[in-house]
Amino acid sequence: MTIPLLLPAVALIAAPAQEQTTPPPAPPVVAPAPVAGSAPIVAPAPIVVPASPVADSPTVSSSAASPEFADPLSDPETAVPATAGEAPFRATAVDPNRGDPLEGFNRAMFGIHQTLDKAIYRPLAMGYQHVVPKPVRSGLRNFFSNLTEPVVFLNYLLQFKFGKAAETLVRFTVNSTLGVGGFFDIAKTEDFKLPHRNNSFGDTLAYYGVGPGPYLFLPLVGPTTLRDALGGPVDGAVLPVSIGKPFTDWRYQFSSGLITGLDLRAESDPELRALFGGAVDPYATLRSVWLQNRAAEVSDLHHHRPKLQSPSELDDPLRDPGAPAAPRPESGARELQDPLADPAAPIPAVTPY
């Protein structure tokens, strides 16, 4: 009676060993018969699961090399090579330093600037704002701004925008005469409607397709690009070269730079405090905001786009400001109403458009 039951076990033992590295199945365990003369109980052979490939095995399954199973954050240079017959997969990673290749240098300069600003620059600017009366500060701001109108005029000529160049010339003439040397901005009133426009040699280079180059942050200068940093000295040389004294005198250059710098720092203090107040990375926040504003200014050189009002903190940040307003729903659907409203209150009637 025991021979038929032992035949499967004998066949498994007598079978030749497999060529894989999988160990042969364990022989069956024969338990002793509980009662004399009865058939022995043969336990079934345990199921052996093939071991997973060794970590250093050169063979890689196709599923492991497929893009859907690859790590999206892995280094493409160290990606696992695909098997024979399959196209190699390279992960696409976004380079965070694409527009800021000098980030290490810029962050160091930003730290120095913040230290100087906290210890020296901001206290001086706040003291200047507190001591000097507002009409005097406004008059000095208008005076030095009026001296930049010839630079704006020349850059409009270089850009072949003769209409804006003529408006800039009229603005400079009106403020220099009726505005008492530029201390009063008469040209921006309703009688003339000639506001100040910023235009520089950096804008002219951008107008003709010169790229911005790497982003730079310089102490006491602030954020800029290589293109704008090279264009700045050209703008600053217009008056000294064309007129001479007093614009070539170092005392004028130092005093004008100090006054305009302190005034600009004092006027921009609320915006800077709001910008850096809740920023996790103040450097990256300032860089992002400045680059976006600068790109918009360069775009306006080619496209005349109407200026849109800045969205409030309650607007949808993902809504396209240029898209037409969505029509109101004709029914007072509960899912579109205030979630804190009383559900028992009657639905207000909506006047159809």
pLDDT digits (tens, 9 = 90+) for 180-191: 999 999 999 998
Taking 90 as the threshold, does the pLDDT of residue 79 lie above it? no
Instruction: Return the pLDDT at 305.
Output: 54
Question: Cα(168)–Cα(150) distance, rounded to whole angstroms?
Answer: 8
Question: Cα(10)–Cα(31) distance, rounded to whole angstroms?
Answer: 16
Residue 326, Cβ density class (10 Å: 0-12 exposed, 13-18 middle, ≥19 buried):
exposed
Sign of CA dihedral 79, 80, 84, 85: negative
Question: Cα(145)–Cα(199) distance, rounded to whole angstroms?
Answer: 12
Mind listing the pLDDT tens digit for each residue in 285-322?
999 999 999 999 999 888 755 454 444 434 444 444 44
Instruction: Return the pLDDT at 60.
Output: 41
Mind listing the pLDDT tens digit for each residue in 127-167?
999 999 999 999 999 999 999 999 999 999 999 999 999 99
Question: Cα(151)–Cα(171) distance, rounded to whole angstroms?
Answer: 13
101 touches 145 (CB < 8 A)? no
Instruction: Return the pLDDT at 343.
Output: 52
* Range 172-187 average pLDDT: 94
Mind listing the pLDDT tens digit for each residue in 14-26?
444 444 445 555 5
Instruction: Return the pLDDT at 183.
Output: 94
Question: Cα(157)–Cα(62) distance, rounded to whole angstroms?
Answer: 63
